Structure 1
Amino acid sequence: MNTPVAAPAGGWRIYFERRALTLLALGFSAGLPIAMIFSGLSFWLVEAGIERKTITMFSWAALGYAFKFVWSPLVDALPLPVLTRTLGTRRAWLLTAQLLVAAAMVLMAFTDPSLPGQITVMAAGAVLLGFASATQDICIDAYRIEIAPDDSAMQTVMSSTYVMGYRLGMVASGMGVLFLAAKLGSAKGQYLYQAWQYSYLAMALLMAVGIATTLLMREPPHSREHQPAAAGENLRLVLTFVLAVSAFVLAFRLAGAALPDINNAPLTAFALETLRLAGALAAALATGVLAVKAGLVSAATAQRTWITPVTDFFKRYGARAALLLALIGLYRISDIVAGVISNVFYADLGFSKEDVALAVKTFGVVMMVVGGLAGGILAQRFAIMKMMMLGAVAASVTNLLFILLAQHGGNTHLLYWVVGFDNFAAGLASTVFVAFLSALTNIRFSAVQYALFSSLMTLFPKVLGGYSGAMVDAMGYEGFFGFTAALTLPVLLLIWLADKKIFSPQHANHSNL
């Protein structure tokens, strides 16, 4: 644990190696959709006259990221007609996901949320975008791990270039949508649907970068080792998955209808929403178990597809796995919860879309890229857990800076300082965290385990983030950002415990950490 990872041979030249550049382009493709769900969509809905608590609830459209571990085994198990034989397992699924991302953006572009009933269609488009984007992430994460399975230094470099590309994608979509919509004539109090429509269509075209990369890159050798089941067994596996998802949706909707509307008490509402999610997950699990017992899918197939990748992690870490899962689930909570309300916050302070596009979506993302590069370099020289601690402390401190911004209204210079520090810290923490999760992943189950880790990373924060608008209504922006900064305190304790109990020299069982 106290021995740093060796710096890669070749110094800076390794960042221009084919695999690193491929992850840069794939990161760009992965970063495009997230702004379409959060930043761009938030401004669009504000201008369309949608109330704030409804806007922040749209963050739940990205819960596909939090539940992607449920269908990630299908990415390993199921071949796609023609594509898998032609491109290979990883590239076939990746291409399909990227085409679905572009299709979801087009659907949203042709939906005007200001019209009666269209907010539901917009929500459906956002959910499809979240699902397709999460599937793209599953494929990219598995590709990154499989393309350099025994090279920890290369994994750190690829984590850095992936985060860099991801943030550049966020710049292109976040800044691009806001600038285009503004230049085409839409503004708060002067809403113009066509401006947003053309902006979203332009972003759909940018997915061509990821599609071209997928067609040109090499299939990882490890992915060719996957032996898909027979067609009939695959069909039964898909049917089992569909039944489980249907049970989840039905249970979630029934529980939602039964729960009282208590958005004015956000923490109570969050607790009830957590129980609602847990109940829906239990219904999905019970449906899957019943399907196996009824013989719809064989127990061996279900075991190989969903159970073995999970039990492998617990076998490797034993009782200490719970500590790791808690750390993974809470590490980015401060940033994610605060990020849901950020664009509404900037709008409430009186900043224009152009101000936000320049300060947050351009300068901020440049600082995030710089932070990502710094995280990649430092992670090669210092123990990952020490860098995890640094990233968590930085995230907490930078959240406190937003209190200062809230107290000084529309101060543009202060906006740049706060956004710069916040994004540098986020870039550093993201790169280190990606390297940490990659090191925990067994290459035999790369798609499933990394999907489980990254899903857990976003599940709790995104559910809580959906109530960020109601929390701001209840405690104001200063109280809210103080609360998000305090959320990091248990994270610091978890990092210290993991370092002491798992990765110290007498306990360490993973060389990359």
Structure 2
Amino acid sequence: MPTESVSPAPGRHWRIFSVGLLGFSSGLPLALSGSTLQAWFTTAGMSLRDIGWITVIGQAYVYKFLWAPLLDRMRLPWLGRRRGWVLLMQVVCALALFDMSFHTPQGAAGTLAFLAVVLAFASATQDIAYDAHRTDLLRPEERGPGIGLMQVGYRLAMLVSGAFALILADRVGWGWTYRAMGCLMLAVTAVTVFSPDAPDEQPARSFTEAVVEPFADLFHRYGKLAFAWLLFVVLYKLCDAFALSLSTTFLLRVPKFSLTQVGTVSKTFGLAAGLLGAVGGGWLVTKMRLYPALLILGICQALVNLGYIVLVHSGPDVSVMAAVVSAEYFFSGLGSTAFVVLVTALCNVRYSATQFALLSALAAIGRVFLGPVAAWLVPQVGWSTFFLITALSAIPGLLLVVAMRGAIGGAEKTRVH
């Protein structure tokens, strides 16, 4: 296969900054096929049954590892092994958003839902390629600041496609809102075009190499420890996902905050705290070894869940909610950055698309499946005990951190080819 000519790689600062800008592209479509779309169906007067079906549209994010080997196997004829897929999926996302803007839930609910599935699939596929590109591109010493900036870009995109999209729709309508989001997706393709390319690796040459070897490679490199790594990925953020699974319902029904109060606090205090946490996490892992960072931040993630117990008894006190939500978002941002640094270190550059997709899918298990468990548990034990249980659910993950101290230190220093 002829080797593609690659221009000299830009400097370190552009390499890291481009990762952050592409994080914005990764985060933008998520709400537009999820919570923002639900708001569109709600304001259109659609039934709860129709709105309920909208919630399953985002399943592509959970199952993306199933087609991730295709991206390790196939190189598109432009922009190298990773950026070619990122660019193609950005264009597909933009076209889906433009097409959605010309339909309404009242007149074409099925068409809108289908286009949202296309949007979610293209977005999840973009994430596969982007995660692989970031994993291949960043050197070990650049993972902290690079992933911190990625978290910042991702969270800003969620603000734009969430809160800002709702405000815009209230003023100019849903059609123009989705067209504006489509324009943003097209604009960010410029970042993909000019982003530096990672040192190229030979793509998989066969189905076995594309599908079987990425998983076999994990077990070959880590042996019996591979199962511990997979369990760690599932458990480390479990307490965070557990507490957040019903947090909005809790804030509305127990302290009885209004929708405006919950939205304003989460989109202002929560966003600011989350951005600080993301930036702080990137700085922290450059100043502290990964093992103590994961241990300390894991403990903090558990302890902040106890703040919700205060809200059980405080009533609708906005200042208390702002403090609790800010602490939750801040330490979640810190912990997420350190966690993604570790997951990045575990991936082999040769199979980074498949391996990162698998590990991030495992990390999403708590977010996807703990909601029904929480809904069953709360009536049995009450809200205060529930939040105590969510804090205690961090213990297995923390014990794994301690048990795998040496392995974490070894993974931190490596760049596997």
Smaller-chain TM-score bracket: 0.7 to 0.9
Q: Is the 8 A contact 1:439 1:510 kept in 2?
A: yes
Q: 1:304 aligned to 2:209? A: yes
Q: 1:218 aligned to 2:196? A: yes
Name the aligned partner's letter for residue 180 of structure 1: L
Give the alignment partner of residue 93 of structure 2, picking from 81, 97, 101. 101
Q: 1:385 aligned to 2:291? A: yes
Q: Is the 8 A contact 2:25 2:157 kept in 1?
A: yes
Q: How many residues align?
A: 404
Displacement of 1:413 in angstroms is 1.9
Give the alignment partner of residue 80 of structure 2, picking from 64, 88, 105. 88
Structure 1 residues 307-346: aligned runs within 5 Å: 307-346=212-251
Q: Distance in 1 between matches of 2:317 and 2:384?
A: 16
RMSD of aligned alpha carbons: 3.3
Q: Distance in 2 between matches of 1:390 and 1:321?
A: 23
Q: 1:174 aligned to 2:81? A: no
Q: Deviations over 1:446-504 (max 9, x none)?
A: 1111111111111343123366566667766555544433332222222222226x347
Q: Distance in 2 between matches of 1:384 and 1:44?
A: 42
Name the aligned partner's letter for residue 184 of structure 2: L
Q: Deviations over 1:271-295 (max 9, x none)?
A: xxxxxxxxxxxxxxxxxxxxxxxxx
Displacement of 1:107 in angstroms is 5.2
Secondary structure in 2 matching 1:218: coil
Q: 1:489 aligned to 2:383? A: no
Q: Is the 8 A contact 1:44 1:196 kept in 2?
A: yes
Structure 1 window deviating more from structure 2 (380-389 vs 97-106): it is 97-106
Q: Distance in 2 between matches of 1:430 and 1:105?
A: 29
Q: Is the 8 A contact 1:329 1:460 kept in 2?
A: yes
Q: Distance in 2 between matches of 1:96 and 1:466?
A: 36
Q: 1:165 aligned to 2:153? A: yes
Give the alignment partner of residue 28 of structure 2, picking from 28, 32, 40. 32
Q: Distance in 2 between matches of 1:50 and 1:337?
A: 30
Q: Deviations over 1:349-407 (max 9, x none)?
A: 34334x44432123312211111121112111222122112222222222232333344
Displacement of 1:117 in angstroms is 8.4
Give the alignment partner of residue 457 of structure 1, picking from 343, 357, 363. 363
Structure 1 residues 186-225: aligned runs within 5 Å: 195-223=173-201, 225=202
Gapped regions of structure 1 (runs ≥ 5)? 1-13, 185-193, 230-300
Relative to structure 1, the CA distance from residue 370 to residue 123 in structure 2 (aligned partners, 3 Å threshold; closer, same or farther) is same
**Partner in structure 2 of residue 22 of structure 1:** 18
Name the aligned partner's letter for residue 402 of structure 1: Y
Name the aligned partner's letter for residue 131 of structure 1: F
Give the alignment partner of residue 404 of structure 1, picking from 310, 332, 351. 310
Relative to structure 1, the CA distance from residue 47 to residue 486 in structure 2 (aligned partners, 3 Å threshold; closer, same or farther) is farther
Q: Distance in 2 between matches of 1:20 and 1:147?
A: 9
Gapped regions of structure 2 (runs ≥ 5)? 1-9
Name the aligned partner's letter for residue 158 of structure 1: G
Q: Distance in 2 between matches of 1:426 and 1:103?
A: 33
Q: Is the 8 A contact 1:15 1:161 kept in 2?
A: no
Displacement of 1:444 in angstroms is 1.6
Q: Is the 8 A contact 2:346 2:411 kept in 1?
A: no
Q: Distance in 1 between matches of 2:137 and 2:327?
A: 33
**Partner in structure 2 of residue 445 of structure 1:** 351
Relative to structure 1, the CA distance from residue 200 to residue 142 in structure 2 (aligned partners, 3 Å threshold; closer, same or farther) is same
Displacement of 1:311 in angstroms is 0.7
Q: Distance in 2 between matches of 1:380 and 1:405?
A: 35
Q: Distance in 2 between matches of 1:394 and 1:51?
A: 41
Relative to structure 1, the CA distance from residue 416 to residue 205 in structure 2 (aligned partners, 3 Å threshold; closer, same or farther) is farther
Relative to structure 1, the CA distance from residue 102 to residue 487 in structure 2 (aligned partners, 3 Å threshold; closer, same or farther) is farther
Give the alignment partner of residue 265 of structure 2, picking from 349, 353, 359. 359
Q: Is the 8 A contact 1:53 1:469 kept in 2?
A: no
Q: Deviations over 1:166-199 (max 9, x none)?
A: 1111122222123224x43xxxxxxxxx844443
Displacement of 1:435 in angstroms is 0.6
Q: Distance in 2 between matches of 1:54 and 1:336?
A: 26
TM-score (norm 1): 0.70
Name the aligned partner's letter for residue 422 of structure 1: E
Name the aligned partner's letter for residue 511 of structure 1: K
Name the aligned partner's letter for residue 386 of structure 1: P
Q: Distance in 2 between matches of 1:35 and 1:436?
A: 26
Q: Distance in 2 between matches of 1:341 and 1:45?
A: 22
Relative to structure 1, the CA distance from residue 156 to residue 89 in structure 2 (aligned partners, 3 Å threshold; closer, same or farther) is same
Q: Is the 8 A contact 2:257 2:316 kept in 1?
A: yes
**Partner in structure 1 of residue 73 of structure 2:** 77
**Partner in structure 2 of residue 141 of structure 1:** 131
Task: Report sequence identity in percent.
Answer: 32
Displacement of 1:424 in angstroms is 0.6
Q: Distance in 1 between matches of 2:33 and 2:157?
A: 13
Name the aligned partner's letter for residue 332 of structure 2: A
Q: Distance in 2 between matches of 1:401 and 1:222?
A: 47
Displacement of 1:345 in angstroms is 4.6
Q: Distance in 2 between matches of 1:162 and 1:489?
A: 28
Give the alignment partner of residue 155 of structure 1, picking from 132, 140, 143. 143
Q: 1:511 aligned to 2:413? A: yes
Relative to structure 1, the CA distance from residue 112 to residue 211 in structure 2 (aligned partners, 3 Å threshold; closer, same or farther) is same
TM-score (norm 2): 0.84
Displacement of 1:94 in angstroms is 0.5
Name the aligned partner's letter for residue 89 of structure 2: A
Relative to structure 1, the CA distance from residue 509 to residue 37 in structure 2 (aligned partners, 3 Å threshold; closer, same or farther) is closer
Q: Distance in 2 between matches of 1:470 and 1:107?
A: 39
